Amino acid sequence: MTWERAGFALLAAGVAALPVFVSTAYALALLNIIGLYAIVTVGLVLLGCSGQVSLGQAAFYGLGAYGSALLSRGLGWSPWLTIPAATAAVAGVAYAVGLPALRLAGHFFVLATLGFGVIVNVLMVQLVPVTGGGNGLRDIPPLQIAGIRPATERQFYYLIWTLALGALLLARNITSHRTGRALRAILGSEVAAAALGVEVSRYKMQVFVASAAYAALAGAVYAHYIRFISPSPFALYASLFFLIMAVVGGLTNIWGGLFGAAAVTVLDQVIRAQVPRVFPRVGGEYQTAIYGVLLVVIMIFFPRGLVRGAIDLRHAQAHPLPVPGGTADAEPAEEWRA
């Protein structure tokens, strides 16, 4: 669609020009984190397009980070090699996880991914000789970009957002064409899709592996960007966080993934800064509560995401809906006349 292509060009131009206007280290760092989260979220939306939900994305994100960090530290490989290597390895892990997990229907698949996420996080904490346990891994080799090592914040910005826009474009293409039609068929009815010859389990596996690769890529870049990793950012809480981003954007809306990642990351910063001012004594748990409520409210009132929800709302105000089932009621009468 041409408007979509124009939108993408506009977005790319905006992303390219943004550092001219934004130059504080804080803002650039925030944009970099948004870019990384956007990659994870777009992967999650890709998965959502097949009607699946994962609560294990933080584990794939973490495996990408630990994988690339350990490879580059242990073997002395360049991060430019270990980032794709770790991504590919995590895709393999996702395939192995998917073999049993994708046999489960609906909610049980979600629980399986949640269990996987918990196991991975426990391993990060307990496998002290490999992962450094709770203390994490320090001195992760930095990336070298254009002869500068470690790469600057701004260089990372361009790297991360090139990857994010590429991820967005790939996901958009996957959800178009024949694969997109097959995914929407699976989302609509797995039974009907199979009756048309769509290999349901193969497509579900493909997008599951792709979503894990997205998360792993973001995690691997994160490791060489922050250069210190520990288990806590890859815990269940982070998986929930990614899922909220995807839900805010609309679980089957690729562009919404980008919006959701940006909106929730900014909201998170605001909450972290403002809530302790208003309630000086609250502990860290309030964030979980806020996100829990947010998730429930969106699922109830905007099941298609905030952007689509707002469009639907305006549309509904402009054109009041016909009574649901009204046409169906009229049908038998017509039949009698025939």
Task: Write out the residues near other proteins by the rule CB under 8 A.
Answer: 170, 173-174, 176-182, 184-185, 187-189, 191-200, 206, 210, 327-328, 330-332, 334-336, 338
Give least dist CB 284 to other proteins, A: 39
Residue with tokens 């994100």: 61
CA distances in angstroms from 54 to 43, 297, 325, listed in the order given: 10, 19, 34
Q: Are 65 and 250 in contact (CB under 8 A)?
A: no
Angle 52-296-254 from CA coordinates, rounded to 5°: 40
- b/e for 222-252, b at 16 or more Cβ within 10 A? bbbbbbebbbebbbeebbbbbbbbbbbbbbb
Give least dist CB 187 to other proteins, A: 8
* Closer residue to other proteins (CB): 124 or 216: 216
* Closer residue to other proteins (CB): 231 or 250: 250
Give least dist CB 202 to other proteins, A: 8
Q: Are 25 and 157 in contact (CB under 8 A)?
A: no
Residue with tokens 């709770």: 134
CA distances in angstroms from 238 to 35, 37, 60, 226, 232, listed in the order given: 16, 10, 11, 17, 9
Secondary structure of 125-147 in HEC code, one letter for each residue: HHCHHHHCHHHCECCCCCCCECC
Residue with tokens 């109830």: 300
Give least dist CB 172 to other proteins, A: 9
Give least dist CB 55 to other proteins, A: 24
User: Position 58: which residue type?
Assistant: A
CA distances in angstroms from 11 to 16, 174, 199, 231, listed in the order given: 9, 20, 35, 34
Q: Are 293 and 281 in contact (CB under 8 A)?
A: no
Give least dist CB 209 to other proteins, A: 10
* 3-state DSSP helix/strand/coil % of the chain, to nearest 5: 80, 0, 20
Contacts of 312 (CB under 8 A, 6+ apart): 304
* Closer residue to other proteins (CB): 178 or 281: 178
Give least dist CB 61 to other proteins, A: 21
* Closer residue to other proteins (CB): 63 or 167: 167
* Closer residue to other proteins (CB): 285 or 335: 335
Give least dist CB 91 to other proteins, A: 13
* Closer residue to other proteins (CB): 155 or 179: 179
* Closer residue to other proteins (CB): 28 or 171: 171
Give least dist CB 326 to other proteins, A: 10
* Closer residue to other proteins (CB): 222 or 302: 302
Question: Half-sphere exposure of residue 268, counting CA atoms within 13 Å on the CB side?
Answer: 20
* Closer residue to other proteins (CB): 227 or 304: 304
Determine whether 97 is exposed, middle or buried from the number of CB atoms within 10 Å of its CB (0-12, 13-18, 19+).
buried
